[in-house]
Amino acid sequence: MQTTLVIIKPSGIQKGIAGRIISRFEEKGLIIAGMKMMELNENILREHYAHLVDRPFFPSLLRSMMATPVVVLAVKGVDAVAVVRAMTGATNARNAAPGTIRGDFGMSGQENIIHASDSPENAAIEVARFFKAGEVFDYTPCTLPAFYAPDELNS
Ligand code: UDP
Ligand code: MG
């Protein structure tokens, strides 16, 4: 199984839809392996969005991500990185397909509700960036056989 990082951004917190977003992952059969509320600062955001620090919108992105506390989730499942990215939708929420989180809850390219890791390599780095040792839990929900065939669980 993979574990991927989701951040419910201030745009999701402000709209009061954190619970609905978490429910989507639960209903899909993904395991919530870690979850906490935290305030982000410029240091962690410069690291997390290192690929964007030179873009003109970066100061606005910083302000946006520090507007309220966020909820960070470590979300686990077979192929969880790709599954969660697909549930997230396109970066610009106006272009995101209906049925995706961004497609259903947003209208903005910046205020786009959640972050989701984009590769297994980045997922490992990002989970370690936002969660300390002991904050991500290893447990087996009793519902697992309803979500997977036995051979799928070995992958
Ligand atoms: N972003 C923005 N303007 C842009 C592109 C990105 O404000 O033109 C913000 C947006 O909030 C996005 C985040 O920067 O989610 C990270 O950008 P990335 O290209 O990594 O998109 P993502 O992986 O979040 O879909
Ligand atoms: Mg990205």
Q: What is the pLDDT along the chain (155 residues), one digit of tens a residue?
A: 999 999 999 999 999 999 999 999 999 999 999 999 999 999 999 999 999 999 999 999 999 999 999 999 999 999 999 999 999 999 999 999 999 999 999 999 999 999 999 999 999 999 999 999 999 999 999 999 999 999 999 76
From 49, 65, 87, 91, the mutation candidate for ligand 1 (largest count of ligand atoms within 8 A of CB) is 91
Closest-lying ligand 1 atom to the alpha carbon of residue 90: 25
Q: Which two tokens stand for residue 56?
A: 């003109």
pTM above 0.95, yes or no: yes
4 lines ligand 1 (CB under 6 A): no
Which residue's CA is minimally distant from atom 8 of ligand 1?
109
Per DSSP, helices labelled H in the chain are 10-15, 18-28, 42-48, 58-65, 80-88, 101-105, 120-130, 144-147
